[in-house]
Amino acid sequence: MLLQTKKLCKQFGGIYALKDIDFEIENGEVLGLVGENGAGKSTLIKILTGVYRLDSGEILWEGNPAEIHNPCQSRDLGINVIHQDRNLVPSFNGIENVFLGLPYEKKGGVAVDWKKMKQRVTAVMEELGIDIDLNIPAALLTPPQKTMLEIVRAMMTRSRLLILDEPTASLTDREAEMLFETIEGLKKKGTSILYVTHRMDEIFRLTDRITVFKNGQLVNTVQTADVNKEQIISMMTDNWVSEKMKTARQFGGSRLDVAHLSSRDGIIKDASFNARAGEILGIFGLGGSGRTELLECVYGHRSVAGGTVAIDHKPVGKASPANSLKQGVVLISEDRRGKALVGSLNVKQNIVLSTIDHYARFGVVDEKKEVSDARDQIDRLSIKTEGPKQPVLQLSGGNQQKVVFAKALLSEPKVLLCDEPTQAVDVKTRQEIHKLLRKRADDGNAVVFVSSDLKEMLEVADNVLIMAGGKTKELFANDGLTAEQVLACCYAD
């Protein structure tokens, strides 16, 4: 047994991210780790690599208790991690990148011995059967070459456990194939590999065993040969079934039409959907499927490469947030602190941020009207604040989110795009937000709702659209829909 955890627990703000995890990885095996969004995979990786500290429990390394308090201790044990967003210095060449964090070879104790360093890197590359040009800066390498370079770096020291976190997220099939060969090579040399991915076919192709996480708990560990995809998916979810609709909802005409939308950065490849008056359209997808990016494209915040967006059957024209707002589209961003709130301003100033021109006559702001409208919103959404002039960051997370909603509602949107609107808010606020979305829809507007919480999705949405790999897939009516159905569609390759 290489690594073992006993009763590992980690909480964030009173909520268990991991609970009583008894996790094992053998010497020289490839272990797949799967689970829904927020199941605790990333938290486990961060504990094993010393980014987070565990609250309670024990880590055993080759049978002996091990302390991992920082990334250095983790690396000294022989644990290396390769993230989906690669950790290379773009302007450094291969050798410099491989030696990041390693002591440089020196000539006479002073001058860097580049020749010797190159020899060491080349030796490791030959051993792994990897061939990369070491003389060009990392920025010029292809995505798989970057991953390979990181593997080389990991193998420069005696790497016993290599953690790969969604390594193929940005690779083409052929590029992924190269990576798989390298992984098989590493396994033959006795390195253990923890492979974390959403892609089922890779799990079945590469792994010896599979560990399944659900809601911060370890559900099961199985021999890959003994199970099939459907069994794994059913282990990952509680299989909630959405309630039958009490009354058949009547939807009006289409308010938002999106056709064959693609983004310039290539994350959104082909997305089409429409949202009707009175409808809450849910968009569900696994991490990295492009939900956030799709909403940003529709809203005009992310550069669009092709496709059309129309509001009430009229093309929106120029893709910019200012124009979208004018046409009646509002985005509630998932990144509250980064993209929704201006932290240096107070509650009132944030609430009127999108609509400030309505309060200005010849450029001069009517502050009385501003304050009274802000107070109205504060009352309507029952925002807990000392008053409109309180700095917005002093509010709790849930109330900050209500401020974001207040700002959005003041512009009277016809189409409300909500990206993870209940993320990191308390239970009460969460329900209030759900009610608010329903009210918005009932008033004849369209609501597009993104959440990575499948249970919430089945509670809130009228229809659920699946996204995977930057494309919109199937559209389900949320009428007796099951979590398994949804996940099966997400995992279908």
Binding positions for another protein, rule: CB under 8 A: 299, 301, 321-322, 324-326, 331, 333, 338-345, 349, 353-354, 356-357, 359-360, 363-365, 367, 407, 411
* No. of helices (H) and no. of strands (E), the chain: 16, 25
> Between residues 117 and 410, which has the closer beta carbon with respect to another protein?
410
- The residue among 127, 125, 107 whose CA lies nearest residue 115 is 107
Q: How far is the CB of 386 from another protein (least distance, A)?
A: 16
> Between residues 360 and 492, which has the closer beta carbon with respect to another protein?
360
The answer to whether 192 and 161 have CB atoms below 8 angstroms apart is: yes
> Between residues 171 and 424, which has the closer beta carbon with respect to another protein?
424
Q: How far is the CB of 298 from another protein (least distance, A)?
A: 13
> Between residues 9 and 345, which has the closer beta carbon with respect to another protein?
345
Which long-range contacts does 350-354 make (Cβ < 8 Å, 24+ apart)? 350/392, 350/403, 350/404, 350/407, 351/377, 351/378, 351/388, 351/403, 351/406, 351/407, 351/410, 352/407, 352/410, 353/407, 354/325, 354/330, 354/407, 354/408, 354/410, 354/411
Q: How far is the CB of 139 from another protein (least distance, A)?
A: 17
Q: Are strands 415-419 and 329-332 parallel, antiparallel or unpaired?
A: parallel
> Between residues 33 and 408, which has the closer beta carbon with respect to another protein?
408
> Between residues 198 and 407, which has the closer beta carbon with respect to another protein?
407
Q: How far is the CB of 340 from another protein (least distance, A)?
A: 6
> Token pair of 338, please?
């980064």
> Between residues 181 and 412, which has the closer beta carbon with respect to another protein?
412
Q: Are strands 111-112 and 314-315 parallel, antiparallel or unpaired?
A: unpaired
- Angle 471-472-473 from CA coordinates, rounded to 5°: 110
Q: How far is the CB of 389 from another protein (least distance, A)?
A: 12
Q: How far is the CB of 360 from another protein (least distance, A)?
A: 4
The Cα–Cα gap between 198 and 176 comes to: 14
How far is Cα of residue 412 from the mean position of the Cα atoms in its chain? Answer: 29
Q: How far is the CB of 122 from another protein (least distance, A)?
A: 38
Q: How far is the CB of 364 from another protein (least distance, A)?
A: 6
- The residue among 157, 155, 178, 176 whose CA lies nearest residue 167 is 176
> Between residues 171 and 345, which has the closer beta carbon with respect to another protein?
345
The answer to whether 270 and 261 have CB atoms below 8 angstroms apart is: yes
Q: Are strands 56-61 and 106-107 parallel, antiparallel or unpaired?
A: unpaired
- The residue among 257, 261, 296, 295 whose CA lies nearest residue 277 is 257
